[in-house]
Amino acid sequence: MSQDQYKSALVTGASSGIGEAIVRQLSAKGLEVHAVARRTDKLEALAAETGCKTYGVDLLDTDAIYDTLSKIEVDVLVNNAGLGLGMDGLPTSERGDIDTTVDTNVKAVMHLTRAMLPGMMARKHGHIINISSVAGLYPIKASIYGATKGAIHLFSQNLRIEIQGSKVRVTEICPARVGTDFFRVAFGEARAKDPVKGFKALTPDDIAEAVVFAVDKPQRVNISLIEVCPTEQIIGGVGIVETD
């Protein structure tokens, strides 16, 4: 890794999918990786494989973010943890879907970034990487999830303005459909495969490679936004709905 000033990273949502792949690839590049997730059994297996340090923290617990994670000094923060509830639309969603999705996808990202940034700025090096979604760039039929990812898009863009001159970089990575547990949580076991039928979805390693690409650039280069789609997934278009 050319960014030899980067020695350590913290990755959230590290127990499966994209987060797990990011831990593996950053560890393979020689970084000391701090892996954060709620499922400690999954983290223990990952630690045995990669040597990462593990933290069983629920990011909805804001106190735990500041009491536990803010004490860790890292060069790279990967805000990866996220979920999608109420994906069938706001009218049929549960009340709790709004709170849980906003708290996980937006509030936790902001709090953890706030906790880590002062140290990075004082050291004058560091990298914030936000794993967002194409749902934050384009309209989709999921207003709750799309709104949270739209918030992360503007959070990333505005943060770069706020910290200009600090030498801390900010990267937003926006995947389209990735073959992970995301859809099982979002749609349930019976429908988990529906969103990725008909084409080859991205793999978690595809997104982890984008993280490594951004981190590996020389200090003068900030990869501000990466959009990653399956070859056969086209975003946009017009659907035909029959009306009376």
pLDDT at 181: 72
* Closest of 62, 43, 65, 39 to residue 54, by C-alpha: 43
In a domain, 3, yes or no: no
In a domain, 175, yes or no: yes
How many Å separate Cα 167 from the centre of its chain?
22
In a domain, 234, yes or no: no
Task: Give the model's confidence band at 242: pLDDT under 50 very low, under 70 low, under 90 confident, else very high.
Answer: low
- Among 6, 55, 66, 145, the active-site one is 145
In a domain, 30, yes or no: yes
In a domain, 199, yes or no: yes
In a domain, 211, yes or no: yes
Quote the domain boundaries for residue 99: 8-228
**Is 138 part of the annotated catalytic residue set?**
no
* Token pair listed for 233: 């997934």
- pLDDT tens figures, 169-196: 999 999 999 987 775 566 566 554 555 6
Q: What is the DSSP string of 28-74?
A: HTT-EEEEEES-HHHHHHHHHHH--EEEE--TT-HHHHHHTGGGS--
pLDDT at 180: 74
* pLDDT above 80 (res 215): yes
- Taking the C-alpha atoms of residue 3 and residue 133, their distance in angstroms, rounded to an integer, is 26
- pLDDT tens figures, 88-104: 999 999 999 999 999 99
Q: Where are the beta strands (DSSP E) in 98-219?
A: 126-131, 168-175
* Closest of 183, 187, 209 to residue 196, by C-alpha: 183
- pLDDT tens figures, 32-53: 999 999 989 999 999 999 999 9
In a domain, 241, yes or no: no
pLDDT at 196: 60
- pLDDT tens figures, 150-165: 999 999 999 999 999 9
Domain count within the chain: 1
Task: Give the model's confidence band at 234: pLDDT under 50 very low, under 70 low, under 90 confident, else very high.
Answer: confident
Mean pLDDT of all residues in 72-91 = 95
What's the N-to-C CA distance of the chain in angstroms? 60
Task: Give the model's confidence band at 244: pLDDT under 50 very low, under 70 low, under 90 confident, else very high.
Answer: low
pLDDT at 125: 93
pLDDT at 235: 81
Q: Which residue has the tokens 């949580």?
A: 185
How many Å separate Cα 62 from the centre of its chain?
18
* CATH code at position 88: 3.40.50.720
pLDDT at 193: 59
- Taking the C-alpha atoms of residue 213 and residue 185, their distance in angstroms, rounded to an integer, is 29
Helices 40-50 and 17-28: angle between axes, nearest 10 degrees = 20
pLDDT at 4: 55
In a domain, 2, yes or no: no
Task: Give the model's confidence band at 25: pLDDT under 50 very low, under 70 low, under 90 confident, else very high.
Answer: very high
CB 189 within 8 A of CB 242: no
